[in-house]
Amino acid sequence: LGKTTIKDVARESGVDVSTVSRCLNGGGRIGPKTRDRILAVAARLQYRPNRVARGLVTGRSHSLGLIVSDIRNPFFAELARGAEDAAYAAGYDLILCNSDLRHEKQLGYLSSLVEKAVEGIVINYAAAVDRKQERHLASLGVPVVLLNRPEGLNKVSSISVDNYHGGFLAGRYLAGLGHRRFALLAGPEDQSNHALRASGFRDGIAGADATILHSDQTLAGGYQNAWKLLSARPDTTAIFASNDVMAFGAMRALNEAGKQIPRDISLVGFDNLQLSALTQPPLTTIDQPKYEIGKAAVELCLDLACAEMHVAPVHRVFGVELVERKSAAPPASRAEARR
Amino acid sequence: LGKTTIKDVARESGVDVSTVSRCLNGGGRIGPKTRDRILAVAARLQYRPNRVARGLVTGRSHSLGLIVSDIRNPFFAELARGAEDAAYAAGYDLILCNSDLRHEKQLGYLSSLVEKAVEGIVINYAAAVDRKQERHLASLGVPVVLLNRPEGLNKVSSISVDNYHGGFLAGRYLAGLGHRRFALLAGPEDQSNHALRASGFRDGIAGADATILHSDQTLAGGYQNAWKLLSARPDTTAIFASNDVMAFGAMRALNEAGKQIPRDISLVGFDNLQLSALTQPPLTTIDQPKYEIGKAAVELCLDLACAEMHVAPVHRVFGVELVERKSAAPPASRAEARR
DNA sequence: CTGAAAGCGCTTACAG
DNA sequence: CTGAAAGCGCTTACAG
């Protein structure tokens, strides 16, 4: 059951394969009757061009890679959709990879993707990108766009949001509400997006006391750390989770512990997932344009792929904003004082 | 900046490309010093085999396609993760496609994927699969596994859940609570999974009155239909949404309309997403094994790809179960009667 | 153990 | 307008 190839079409139409190729690709003049014959045969034989063979000669695979930590995090699902839409619009396929933020797994995907001859890779890098890693990325031979801003580096492009400012907004908001004893559910220690949010947050609360707890950037991570926090620092009145999914985990733990949000403890997240408006209570959080990030990242990737090699890397930073809902309020002490 | 190819390695090591190939692929005996030389050169030149060229000759692309309606639906994100994990374990790449359940878009992806020579396709088909469509899928030349069960067809494989039974459980549960006036947020009219859930539900409520409303299987779809329902059938006391995301949309609408769940109206979903436990109130829903479905689907795909063509299609149906949380309760009338 | 040849399915100058 | 050739980067019998 061999698939029908260009050879079959050529044989059946009594012309050379090069003629078939030209005919099907619209390049070059073809006699009208020759064309009709070829087209008819191709249709009859249900000919489908093999794009990988084509790619081998044209040097273009028309595929892109996307490496995220875990597509189950709705943040990455939104982002992936933006990425796929942009790829689709440009006639590209998107290969989805889940790194779990594990370095070796990420490395494996990276080389697998270049061996598959993708024309670009967008990646949420598993760690802070240092000089050595940047060199590695730059040496891959395909454009890479980072989803986290590589601080102080200049070989590789990025699309990111103003993580620092988002963290700052969250901190200032909670401090403004009157909180003084904070906790920071900070995600993975070495992930730059989270690190920046943490640093913004600390500046936002202007040096007030903050317990910082690291974990996976998952619901389970937030859940476990919230429990830890409850026993280690029961006097905490406000939590900033550096993504919404961790905030969801914290909500669950707080709920199970019989704590009411925001009466007993305030909670602010980061991402503004669709579902964040539907939790109990609706989550106050920092909005970032997830879909647009994904879309912009593949568009940039494609630009870079077309551009001559060694154009200067470009960095684009999207804005963020605080979305106030119901999960944060003044601390009980102050609320009482008001009465 | 041409990438280094097997030719470069051959030239630099003073051997033929076929020797390099054999050396790198482990096939055939190679003189130890020849091997070392080749390996050293390959490393020095940072040689990376071009897998698409390799695939062209071996006839194996080591990639798979996954077509879902929208990865932003957490159901598909979970499923996709199961699929990607299985693909990764087998050394395959996964190409992600979002069809939005639109027929033409789906068709486009389908042919694009076979032209890319994927070795298998798992797809949540946009509509009920009729004979003609089944024939089309079977003629693609690569194994296809459907994520919805093709009723009464026998050319193509499927991994699905017992949708009918899930709908039935939901209906019987709500009817058992004492409800008599139901609404069904039924999703797309021609999607077989949803149709089966609806049919099970109707049997579960044993012919009681049920308003049925179709929409996209999205949060927005559920939201809009819940509003419609509120004005068209304000006497409804129980809603079954045939997926959780639509249930979330309904929750939002109900909330905005000042209706309390479950006091004023009961709600049951289908999927049991991670977030369904965190909504206000936590959602009673039908659990289905999302990750496992995705995993099983690609494993089946891979089996089918290895097996000789024209093995009989296989159908596997996972079980479902009702997860009771807080979004459904007896209707007000009965609750009052109890006092 | 190693090389030369043929070929995977296609495209692209180059002639004619 | 069309064909013959060379080649994309690799693999795989087949000789030797």
Strand C within 7 A of B31 CB: yes
Which of A61, A70, A111 shows the shortest C-beta gap to B52?
A61
Q: How confident is the model at residue A337 (pLDDT cuts 50, 70, 90)?
A: low
Q: Which of A68-72, A85-89, A125-129, A280-284 has the lowest mean pLDDT?
A: A125-129
Per the DSSP assignment, residues forming a β-bridge with A182 are A210, A238
Check residue A309 and give its pLDDT.
Answer: 63
A1: Cα within 13 Å, side-chain hemisphere: 8
Cβ(B76)–Cβ(B70) below 8 Å: yes
Q: Is B303 on the interface with A (CB under 8 A)?
A: no
Stretch B62-69: mean pLDDT, rounded? Answer: 97
The integer distance in angstroms from the CA atom of A104 to the C1' atom of D3 is: 51
Q: Which residue of B has its CA nearest to A290?
A: B72
Which of B84, B96, B219 shows the shortest C-beta gap to A274?
B219
Check residue A109 and give its pLDDT.
Answer: 97
Q: How far is B17 from chain A (nearest CA, A)?
A: 18
| Helix (H/G/I), strand (E/B), else coil: B273 | coil
Span B241-292, pLDDT tens digits:
999 999 999 999 999 999 999 999 999 999 999 999 988 899 999 999 999 9
Check residue A306 and give its pLDDT.
Answer: 87
Q: Which of A5, A96, A293 to mutate to test the interface with B (most CBs of B within 10 A)?
A: A96
Summary mean pLDDT of chain B: 93
**A25 CA: nearest nucleotide by C1':** C11
Cα distances from B176 to residues B26, B108, B202, B267, B301, in angstroms, run 65, 46, 13, 14, 41
Q: Which of A20-34, A78-92, A215-229, B79-93 has the lowest mean pLDDT?
A: A20-34
**Phi, psi values for residue A302, rounded to 5°:** -65, -40
Cβ(B126)–Cβ(B101) below 8 Å: yes
Smallest Cα–Cα separation from A147: which of A162, A159, A155? A159
| Helix (H/G/I), strand (E/B), else coil: B187 | coil
3-state secondary structure chain A: CCCCCHHHHHHHHCCCHHHHHHHHHCCCCCCHHHHHHHHHHHHHCCCCCCHHHHHHHHCCCCEEEEEECCCCCHHHHHHHHHHHHHHHHCCCEEEEEECCCCHHHHHHHHHHHHHCCCCCEEECCCCCCCHHHHHHHHCCCCCEEECCCCCCCCCCEEEEECHHHHHHHHHHHHHHCCCCEEEEEEECCCCHHHHHHHHHHHHHCCCCEEEEEECCCCHHHHHHHHHHHHHHCCCCCEEEECCHHHHHHHHHHHHHCCCCCCCCCEEEEEECCHHHHCECCCCEEEECCHHHHHHHHHHHHHHHHHCCCCCCCCEEEECCEEECCCCCCCCHHHHHHHC
| Helix (H/G/I), strand (E/B), else coil: B32 | helix
Per the DSSP assignment, residues forming a β-bridge with B210 are B182
The integer distance in angstroms from the CA atom of A11 to the C1' atom of C9 is: 14
The integer distance in angstroms from the CA atom of B21 to the C1' atom of D10 is: 8
Span A181-221, pLDDT tens digits:
999 999 999 899 999 999 999 999 998 989 999 999 999 99
| Helix (H/G/I), strand (E/B), else coil: B310 | coil
Q: Is the pLDDT of residue A171 over 70?
A: yes
Check residue A27 and give its pLDDT.
Answer: 67
Residue of least CA–C1' distance to C11: A57
Share of chain B above pLDDT 70, in %: 96
Q: Is the pLDDT of residue A56 over 80?
A: yes
As a residue count, chain A comes to 339
DSSP designation for B126: S
Torsion-angle region of A320 (φ positive above 0: left; ψ -120 to 50: alpha; else: beta) = beta
Stretch B213-236: mean pLDDT, rounded? Answer: 96
Check residue B154 and give its pLDDT.
Answer: 83
State how far the Cα of B258 lies from the Cα of B82, in Å rounded to an integer.
Answer: 39
State how far the Cα of B206 lies from the Cα of B208, in Å rounded to an integer.
Answer: 6
Stretch B159-187: mean pLDDT, rounded? Answer: 97
Q: Do B94 and A93 touch (CB under 8 A)?
A: no
Check residue A334 and give its pLDDT.
Answer: 65
Cβ(B296)–Cβ(B120) below 8 Å: no
Which B residues, 121 through 140, put their C-beta within 8 Å of a C-beta on chain A? Answer: 139
Which residues, including other chains, have CB under 8 Å from residue A73's CB and lie 6 or more apart? A217, A218, A243, A245
Q: How confident is the model at residue A131 (pLDDT cuts 50, 70, 90)?
A: confident
As a residue count, chain B comes to 339
Check residue A149 and give its pLDDT.
Answer: 84
Check residue A3 and give its pLDDT.
Answer: 85
Q: Is B72 on the interface with A (CB under 8 A)?
A: yes
Smallest Cα–Cα separation from A122: which of A161, A71, A92, A83? A83
Q: Which of B43-52, B79-88, B151-160, B294-303 has the lowest mean pLDDT?
A: B151-160
CB-count burial class (<10 Å; 0-12, 13-18, 19+) for B21: middle
Per the omega criterion (within 30 degrees of 0), is the bond before A282 cis? no
Task: Write out the H or E segment, with its range, that includes residue B246.
Answer: helix B244-256
Smallest Cα–Cα separation from B155: which of B171, B139, B169, B166? B139
Cβ(A18)–Cβ(A51) below 8 Å: no
| Helix (H/G/I), strand (E/B), else coil: B145 | strand
Q: How far is A78 from chain B (nearest CA, A)?
A: 6
Which of A71, A78, A275 shows the shortest C-beta gap to B80?
A71
State how far the Cα of B215 lies from the Cα of B185, in Å rounded to an integer.
Answer: 8
**A8 CA: nearest nucleotide by C1':** C9
State how far the Cα of B319 lies from the Cα of B296, in Å rounded to an integer.
Answer: 14
Q: Is the pLDDT of residue B214 over 70?
A: yes
Q: Which residues does chain A have within 8 Å of residue B48's beta carbon, measured at their own beta carbons?
A: 111, 114-115
Residues contacting strand D at CB < 7 A? A 14-19, 22, 28-31, 33-35, 53, 56-57, 59; B 2-3, 5-7, 17-18, 21-22, 24-25, 27, 48-50, 53-54, 56-58
Q: How confident is the model at residue B309 (pLDDT cuts 50, 70, 90)?
A: low
Residue with tokens 């647009």: A292
Angle, CA A173 vertex, CA A175 and CA A232 arms, to 5°: 50
Q: How far is A269 from chain B (nearest CA, A)?
A: 15
Cβ(A81)–Cβ(B81) below 8 Å: no
Per the DSSP assignment, residues forming a β-bridge with B270 are B286
Smallest Cα–Cα separation from A5: which of B297, B115, B168, B280? B115
Q: Which residue of B has its CA nearest to A246?
A: B275
B172: Cα within 13 Å, side-chain hemisphere: 12
Which residues, including other chains, have CB under 8 Å from residue A255's CB and lie 6 or more apart? A280
Check residue B339 and give its pLDDT.
Answer: 52
Check residue A312 and give its pLDDT.
Answer: 86
Check residue B257 and give its pLDDT.
Answer: 95
Q: Is B56 on the interface with A (CB under 8 A)?
A: yes
The integer distance in angstroms from the CA atom of B19 to the C1' atom of D16 is: 15
Per the omega criterion (within 30 degrees of 0), is the bond before A262 cis? yes
Which A residues, 88 through 117, put their C-beta within 8 Å of a C-beta on chain B? Answer: 88, 93-98, 111-117
Q: Is the pLDDT of residue A335 over 70?
A: no
State how far the Cα of B282 lies from the Cα of A286, in Å rounded to an integer.
Answer: 24
Highest mean pLDDT among A70-74, A310-314, B45-49, B135-139: A70-74
Q: How confident is the model at residue A1 (pLDDT cuts 50, 70, 90)?
A: low
Residue predicted with more confidence, A122 or A338: A122
Q: Is B8 on the interface with A (CB under 8 A)?
A: no
Residue A77, both tokens: 């699902």
Which residues, including other chains, have CB under 8 Å from residue B17's CB and lie 6 or more apart? B6, B7, B9, B10
Which of A1, A50, A70 shows the shortest C-beta gap to B115?
A50
Q: How far is B239 from chain A (nearest CA, A)?
A: 18
Q: Which amino acid is at A270?
A: F
The alpha carbon of residue A194 and the mean position of all alpha carbons in its chain are separated, in whole angstroms, by 13
Q: Is B274 on the interface with A (CB under 8 A)?
A: yes
State how far the Cα of B295 lies from the Cα of B77, in Å rounded to an integer.
Answer: 12
Q: How far is B252 from chain A (nearest CA, A)?
A: 7
Strand C within 7 A of A22 CB: yes
Chain D bases closer than 7 angstroms to a protein Cβ: 1-13
Q: Which of A33-47, B192-206, B223-237, B306-320 has the lowest mean pLDDT?
A: B306-320
Q: How far is B112 from chain A (nearest CA, A)?
A: 9
Span A68-77, pLDDT tens digits:
999 999 999 9
Share of chain A above pLDDT 90, in %: 81
**CA-based torsion, A99, A100, A101, A103: positive or negative:** negative
Which A residues, 27 through 46, put their C-beta within 8 Å of a C-beta on chain B? Answer: 46
State how far the Cα of B178 lies from the Cα of B335, in Å rounded to an integer.
Answer: 9
Stretch A14-25: mean pLDDT, rounded? Answer: 91
Q: Which of A163-177, A225-239, B141-155 has the lowest mean pLDDT?
A: B141-155
**B10 CA: nearest nucleotide by C1':** C3
Which B residues, 208 through 267, put their C-beta within 8 Å of a C-beta on chain A? Answer: 219, 248, 251-252
Residue B143 CB neighbours (<10 A): 26
Span A228-276, pLDDT tens digits:
999 999 999 999 999 999 999 999 999 999 999 999 999 999 999 999 9
Q: How confident is the model at residue A336 (pLDDT cuts 50, 70, 90)?
A: low
The model carries a pTM of 0.94
Summary mean pLDDT of chain A: 93
Smallest Cα–Cα separation from A92: which of B96, B175, B3, B213? B96
Cβ(B76)–Cβ(B96) below 8 Å: no
B241: Cα within 13 Å, side-chain hemisphere: 35
**Phi, psi values for residue B232, rounded to 5°:** -80, -40
Residue of least CA–C1' distance to D11: B57
Q: Is the pLDDT of residue B144 over 80?
A: yes
Which A residues, 157 through 216, put their C-beta within 8 Å of a C-beta on chain B? Answer: none
Check residue B30 and give its pLDDT.
Answer: 84
The integer distance in angstroms from the CA atom of A7 to the C1' atom of D5 is: 16
